[in-house]
Chain A
Amino acid sequence: MAKVTIDGIEVEVPNGSSVLQACEAAGKEIPRFCYHERLSVAGNCRMCLVEVEKAPKPVASCAYPVADGMKVFTDSVMVRNARRNVMEFLLINHPLDCPICDQGGECDLQDQATAYGGQGGRYREPKRAVKDKYLGPLVKTIMTRCIQCTRCVRFATEVAGVPELGATGRGEDMQIGTYVERALTTELSGNLIDICPVGALTSRPYAFVARPWELRKTDSIDVQDAQGVNIRIDTRGPEVLRILPRVNEDVNEEWMADRGRFSFDGLKRKRLDRPWIRQDGKLRPATWPEALEHVAAKLKPIPGNRIGAVAGDLVDVESVFALKALMNALGSQNLDCRQDGARIDGSRRDHYLFNTGIAGIDEADALLIIGSNPRREAPVLNARIRKRWASGAMPVAHIGPRDIDLTYNAEHLGEGASALNALLDGTHAFAKVLAGAKKPMIILGRNAVAREDGAAVLAAAWALANQVSALTPEWHGFNMLHLFGGQVGALDAGFLPGPGGEGLAGMLSGGVDALWLLGADGFEPALIAPGTFVIYQGHHGDRAAARADVILPGAAYTEKEGTYVNTEGRVQRGRLAVYPPGEAREDWRIIRAAGIALGVGLPFDTLEEVRARMVAANPVFGLVDGRIAGGSQDVTGPQVSGSLSAETFRPAITDYWLADSISRASETMAECSRIYNAAPLAQAAE
């Protein structure tokens, strides 16, 4: 530790810290553009100059290491002069187009020019202009505004793992871009907009839409992947205008994936905004009382054990819990939330959770990925794996399709589950790497257990984890990576076949006469046996709604108070940012109303009561914003049934940009899919 005095305040910071970090520890704000705490230090904007005692010149605090006994001044005449002059230089080539700039009002340069700049510039010569660059369908560029801080270059190279951005040319001709004018091949491109301190990189869908002070900000949770990224939903009136990530060190740091960030325009399209009833083979608009009476009339004659319910991937725990209560009250045990057919029995929570925790990746020292492509399934989590891998402390291997690009080097051990055998009997070299590691990690893709031999894959992965001592009282190295934000919550709520109940396959093949689909768009609706009475409750007119006999319009994740559990078992609350469109209602209320129509009163009338019941049923739901961490207390594996097949693992998400019902309704995402899935231009030399 080094003792440093900042403006007379003495602080102790670890050796090797920068002066800037010491200043922050002392509560002094240091203006900066190029410095970003999650990126490498560039030291090229010079805005963070401070005075250090006995140093002849101001020093760039972001790149200057502390020394014991150092005295730093952050508000001396020298510092104020230096900042003013650096700002004058930065503004030489920066256009004064704040009134038409989308960054206006939340611009670092604007703020810092006001706080630390001078009165005006002395530069009278022509300013430079730079041609705009193409970075893809999501990031809009106005490169004349660029101040060459190179944050975007460092983000793309270090965090996103796609070294495609660079600074070409030199001096006044230096320009940021890809040089080849191709879209950045990353799922994290939206973060470039956040880290750009000026208006050079802005959001294309948000261009000229709103000013930050017009927006109402609601903290919520993203459900479009299972990471549970903390988000802020910016709304104006009844419209979601943009979605930004919030900082949560344990979940997403400060990053966010593109599908969650940019697919919100899908919330305005293809929406179910009123009930519909199928009459004479055609859907016709209806009122709520009509629809609920119709449901009641159809369901009442059917015995309870001939009614089934399937929960989708984006549902909140409240509605799943309410639907389970309704089904049980009707005498049905036919429940399933595993639309993909994942062989998860739900008997033990750590058999289906990402037990290490997302933050736990930072401690792991060997990683095996089985049947998963985290880059597509949870891009932000993948960036965290990459960060750990890049530190050199975590070798990575994967089993699955050979041609996937994870943005880091991963040894390919095989394409199918049978590759696990070579690890289990210790013949493969990577088995020794895992066994030799202190904190080995195994990530099992949810899709890897959604196949015939899923149970065997799950058991084998668990057995391997146990064998390489990944399951100790201090460390839990078995992880399942889920795909969507509602999946773990539904499992935690126990939305699984009860005693004697049918699973999804049984329900589809005629095991039930009536099927209640709660946002279940994850399977082919043509599989539903003909003659089954289908109730679709959800927010988008996606594939399942077309098969429905009754449509009950529900609320999307931005439109309701909902509890979601992310892949690591963290319980988080999404909040209502806008009201559901038209006649659509909060899902648990719809189910409660249906219960009344069916003559089975559910034991809750308010959200608080639902939540109290949820906690009573499963105490984990009471642990909001937290998760049960810690090692493995019981190394007993899941039940083994069948043996591993040689069948290759298939990618869980074939089109990242169109993976759920919201993004399938989004024009932005459709364009991304078109651009990114287009065959790449033939590269002769590559």
Chain B
Amino acid sequence: MSVAHQEPTSFTFDADSDAQIEKILARYPEGKKASGVIPLLYVAQKQMGRQTGSAWVPRVAMDAVAVRLGMAPIRVYEVATFYFMFNTKPIGRFHLQVCGTTPCWLRGSDEVLRACKDAGHLKGYGDTSADGLFTMTEVECLGACVNAPILQVDDDYYEDLDYASTVALIEALKRGERPKPGSVIGRQTSAPEGGPTTLLDIPMMAKE
């Protein structure tokens, strides 16, 4: 199932990460530092993304987290393998996370999936494109059902997608652009499409 990948032989936090870790650890009392394992794994994953273009957590990075938090390495492995947000294998430059849960599916997530496959040259979930740009995974509800369907690219949500807009988004990513996250049809947060539909009789609202 999984293609064997090369594990790096060493990992050290860079200055950027160190600064973040210091801030994170300040949140936890002495003796409870292990609570910082999830934020630190994120820091490690981000650093890998910065350094190699592939945001994943190799085992040596988990070991580095364990050392930093004074916990047994296996406890870090348990957490890192439990959460889907941590990639224990190398991924593409952009992580396309397609929500396929019921609201998104009802609103056309299949089209989003098809667009990702076509534009990103991906065979399916879990696949990384040959050019190393995209990895697509299926995720469970991202909690933005109101603007379904959703595609999460790395940390950014793109909402109200359809086939064409998804293709456009992926083409933009290929060009090295980062379109503004949020609704691609321009609605403000989760306001109704095409403007307000309720509370129209309030004078303040009517003025606008």
Contact = CB atoms under 8 A, between A and B. Distances in A.
A184 to B, nearest CB: 11
A683 B73 CA distance: 12
Contact count band on A: 10 to 19
Interface in B37-74: 59-61, 63-64, 67, 72-74
A157 B10 CA distance: 27
Contact of B67 (A165, A168, A685): A685
A685 B11 CA distance: 6
Given A169-B82, A685-B12, A178 B74 contact: yes
A167 B72 CA distance: 13
A164 B73 CA distance: 8
B81 A683 contact: no
Given A163-B75, A166-B77, A178-B74, A684 B82 contact: no
A684 B10 contact: yes
Q: Which 3 A-B pairs have the closest CB atoms?
A: A163-B72, A684-B10, A166-B74
Contacts of B59: 179-180
B204 to A, nearest CB: 49
A403 interface: no
Most A Cβ at <10 Å: residue of B67, B74, B82: B74
A686 B63 contact: yes
Nearest to B78: A166
Nearest to A175: B81
Interface residues of B, number: 18
Contacts of A178: 74
A476 to B, nearest CB: 35
B82 A170 contact: yes
Interface in A169-204: 169-170, 178-180
A684 B74 CA distance: 16
Contacts of B61: 685
B81 A684 contact: no
Given A168-B77, A169-B82, 5 more contacts: A178-B74, A179-B74, A684-B9, A685-B12, A685-B61
A179 B63 CA distance: 12
A563 B22 CA distance: 61
A179 B77 contact: yes
A173 B74 CA distance: 17
Contact of B60 (A157, A166, A168, A685): A685
B63 A685 contact: yes
Contacts, number: 44
7 contacts: A166-B75, A166-B77, A168-B78, A170-B82, A684-B10, A685-B61, A686-B67
A168 B74 CA distance: 9
A164 B10 CA distance: 20
Nearest to A157: B72
Nearest to A173: B81
A157 B78 CA distance: 14
Contacts of B78: 166-168
B77 to A, nearest CB: 4
Interface in A309-329: none
Contact of A164 (B11, B60, B67, B72): B72
A168 B83 CA distance: 10
A684 B72 contact: no
Contacts of B74: 163-166, 178-179
B60 A179 contact: no
B60 A684 contact: yes
Contacts of B73: 180, 686
Contacts of A180: 59, 73, 77
A170 B81 contact: yes
Contact of A179 (B64, B67, B81): B81
A685 B59 CA distance: 10
A35 B72 CA distance: 24
Contacts of A170: 81-82
Contacts of B10: 684-685
Given A169-B81, A169-B82, A170-B81, A683 B75 contact: no
Interface in A141-178: 157, 163-170, 178
A168 B81 contact: yes
A165 B61 CA distance: 19
Contacts of A168: 77-78, 81-82
A686 B11 CA distance: 10
B86 to A, nearest CB: 12
A686 B61 CA distance: 10
B31 to A, nearest CB: 13
Nearest to A180: B59
B44 to A, nearest CB: 11
B45 to A, nearest CB: 15
Interface string B73-99: 111011001100000000000000000
Interface string A653-686: 0000000000000000000000000000001111
Nearest to B74: A166
Contacts of B60: 684-685
Contacts of B75: 163, 166
